[in-house]
Amino acid sequence: MIYRGEPLDILSTLDFQGRYPLMEAVVHLAHRLNIPRLKAAVTATASVVPEIYGGYSLKRNRFDTPKRDDLTVVQEYASFQDPERASLDLLAGPQLQVQVIHHDDADVLRIFISHLVTDGVGFKNYLYLLAAAYNGDDISTIRNDRSVRSILAGLKKRSHVEVDQEETEIASDWQPIPGGVHYHNGKITIGQRSFKRIEQASQTHDFSVEEVVLAAYAKAINVLTGKQRLQIPFPVNLRQFNPARFSDQTVQIANLTGQLLVSVQIHIYDTFDTILQRVHDTIETMIDQQQYLNVIPALQRLSRWATPDMMRRMIARNQPLRHVSFEAFGEVDANRFMFDQIPVAGVYLTDSFRTMPDFRLTMSSFNDSCTLSFRMLGSEQDYQQGLKVLNNMESTLTMWAQKISQD
């Protein structure tokens, strides 16, 4: 079977080899899973998202799915065999891999999904779908809506302001440090007590948690590089603008994310409050101007007649890739992501490995704790620089929240 890709799927193909479009969920379970049941659940989800079994055609922007569904998506490993990363050929397929790492009396799941199929919010929707199928729910009548058309139709009622993007880049000040190139997993978890305080402080001043984290990220990059003017891509979930009312029988496992290129000016004596207010005001203005749409309306129009290669060239001219970026996955709902009676001890979502100087920070939360992470291909010194960013951010966020709570 052949399934057409959507125009927004092409956004993940701009640097296909350098920035492999893959996302990962790391799930720690308190007990072992029933593997036949897990395999059956994966098969069931393919009735809703058949693209997960397909190979992707860059030339045609489509998924070619084989008639059989017995691909080895679920793989088992002993704890000492943990591969710690996926080996997926997205052009050949499938677009999904589920690794089960067995420990003495517990399992760790590494669930990888292609960014060609979905964005971060859609990834969470897939996780909920997989858990529902594992728990015995009938998901055969659920429909997956991958189109952005209804969202754009609703947004046409407001005027989209075209704004020239400034060409400010920070990669020149964060060059790779020579040394052996290795795979590195960097992460730091902000515990329940501290993260609750950060959430409460954010609500007190009408900031989103994502804005607060982005401001801390910008500050950490400023400390590391000395760069005072930064531009960092900030994701905007387009689903929130959908006027359509979906039933419980419809999911959106798709690429439905816009992007703001947020300019942040940081002066030497700026406090974090000043930086945060500046970030908040900038994002608020950009959202009001619908700058998150950027190339999306043009991409939708071009898809009627242009080839995927022509569309990629248009995107590259108007939405250049940035070396330093940010992905906010948001909260994984503990009430929806559970495997029968097996407690989920922890979950975090992250992105694919990036070769320095590309650095992508990811943020996700679960059960009132927050994980900041990155995947890196670089030297040990590069990795230590990445950890400095995480540690600086944690310190900034916890100290700010503590100060707000005492005011």
Name the percent of the chain lying above pLDDT 90. Answer: 73
* DSSP notation for 343-378: -EEEEEEEE--EETT-EEEEEEEETTEEEEEEEEEE
Among residues 386, 399, 398, which one has the least CA distance to residue 187? Answer: 386
CATH number, span 2-406: 3.30.559.30
Q: What is the CA radius of gyration of the chain?
A: 21
Query: H helices within 101-253, ranges in order?
Result: 120-134, 149-155, 192-204, 209-225
Among residues 361, 385, 383, 359, which one has the least CA distance to residue 371? Answer: 361
Is the pLDDT assigned to residue 171 strictly greater than 50?
no
Q: Classify residue 47 as left (phi > 0), alpha (psi -120 to 50) or beta.
A: alpha
Measured over the CA atoms of residue 335, residue 336, residue 339 and residue 344, the dihedral's sign is negative
| Tens of pLDDT, residues 79-130 | 988 888 888 899 999 999 999 999 999 999 999 999 999 999 999 999 999 9
Among residues 187, 184, 290, 165, which one has the least CA distance to residue 232? Answer: 165
**Cis amide leading into 83 (omega within 30):** no
Q: Is 8:148 a contact under the CB 8 Å cutoff?
A: yes
pTM reported for the whole predicted model = 0.94
Structural domain boundaries in the chain:
2-406
| Tens of pLDDT, residues 2-58 | 999 999 999 999 888 778 899 999 999 999 999 999 999 999 999 999 999 999 999
